Amino acid sequence: MSDRLIEENDISIDEVKEQAIAKHMSDIKVMEKCIFGLDQFIIRFGRESNAHDLAFDLKLQILQNKKHLEEWINTI
């Protein structure tokens, strides 16, 4: 009986881990799209844009957040 409960708990823990990974992988894809969009903006409008530096700083921040999230996913 206790072996069966342990197996059921292991399965539910694995399911929770998979769901968390799937959710965060979705977040990473959104971050990648945002980074791509910011790259396009920076390339298209260049330094002439008054938002160039802001876009560049935002891109760096998102890259850092993405890196931390990927590291966290790898620890699950």
pTM beyond 0.85, yes or no = no
pLDDT of residue 12: 79
Nearest to 76 by CA among 30, 27, 16, 34: 16
* Structure confidence at residue 17 (pLDDT): 85
**1-33 per-position pLDDT tens digit:** 455 555 666 667 788 888 889 999 999 999 999
Does residue 43 carry a pLDDT above 90? yes
Locate the domains of the chain by residue range. Answer: 2-75
The mean per-residue pLDDT over the stretch 45-72 comes to 97
What token pair was written down for 7? Answer: 């197996």
